[in-house]
């Protein structure tokens, strides 16, 4: 916790101040405005800096790759069965990640719906096996792609309403929305990499 300068509080008695004391108090020099300003200024150590990309990624580092005990309960304390399911999740995740990479490499008129479906599959499977990093990042990607898809659908609707029957307009994907989705996919890739490393560590 950052600590600023401590303020000193002076307690005053409720009794009447003698006239001489009161006069002396009035004549006492006041602290200069410059000194007051310097005391009120936060030191360099207390200034808060905006979170960097590296600091934000620490949020994922604080999340468990898998809650093994909870996952074991889900599998009836059958470790062999759990290991089999974790291997299946790895294969399914890799398959869905490949699909999303292909979609974003050559985006169509409506690329986001495919991202939503793939992220949803990963999120559901990871949730069942208590793989929190995968679940968390897949959920964020699914939500982001859903919002982008809804925005694209609204744009298409507006263009359709504003055009005549003889006119055909092709709604283009918003590059900014596409970049946001790509960034969330990169976060999911970090979680997938961590998941692979964990499975290698436990020999799955």
pLDDT at 20 (0 to 100): 47
3-class DSSP state for residue 147?
helix
Burial of 137 (0-12, 13-18, 19+ CB in 10 A): buried
Residue 28 token pair: 């006492």
In the chain, the percentage of residues whose pLDDT exceeds 90 is 52
Distance CA 37, CA 39 (A): 5
The arithmetic mean of pLDDT across residues 33-55, rounded, is 45
Distance CA 192, CA 11 (A): 61
pLDDT at 170 (0 to 100): 56
pLDDT at 3 (0 to 100): 40
Check whether domain 53-201 has CATH 3.40.109, yes or no: no
pLDDT tens digits along 166-196: 454 555 778 899 999 999 999 999 999 999 9
Is the pLDDT higher at 171 or at 115? 115
The arithmetic mean of pLDDT across residues 87-103, rounded, is 97
Average pLDDT, the chain: 77
Distance CA 199, CA 68 (A): 12
pLDDT tens digits along 118-136: 999 999 999 999 999 999 9
Which pTM value belongs to this model?
A: 0.66
Distance CA 20, CA 26 (A): 10
Calculate ∠ Cα 44-48-50, nearest 5°.
Answer: 130
**Above 80 in pLDDT, residue 58?**
no
């Amino acid at each position: 916790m950052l600590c600023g300068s401590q303020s000193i509080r002076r307690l005053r008695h409720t009794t009447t101040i003698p006239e001489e004391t009161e006069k002396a108090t009035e004549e006492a020099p006041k602290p200069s405005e410059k000194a007051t300003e310097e005391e009120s200024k936060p030191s360099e150590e207390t200034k808060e800096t905006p979170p960097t990309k590296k600091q934000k990624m620490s949020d994922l580092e604080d999340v468990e790759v898998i809650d093994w005990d909870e996952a074991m309960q889900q599998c009836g304390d059958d470790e062999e069965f759990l290991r089999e399911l974790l291997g299946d999740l790895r294969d399914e995740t890799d398959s869905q990640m490949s699909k999303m990479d292909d979609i974003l490499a050559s985006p169509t008129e409506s690329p986001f719906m495919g991202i939503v479906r793939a992220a949803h599959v990963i999120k559901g499977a990871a949730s069942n096996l208590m793989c929190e990093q995968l679940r968390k990042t897949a959920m964020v990607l699914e939500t982001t792609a859903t919002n982008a898809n809804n925005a694209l659908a609204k744009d298409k609707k507006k263009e359709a309403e504003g055009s005549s029957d003889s006119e055909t307009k092709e709604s283009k994907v918003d590059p900014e929305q596409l970049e946001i989705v790509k960034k969330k996919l990169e976060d999911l890739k970090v979680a997938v990499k961590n998941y692979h490393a964990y499975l290698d560590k436990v020999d799955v």
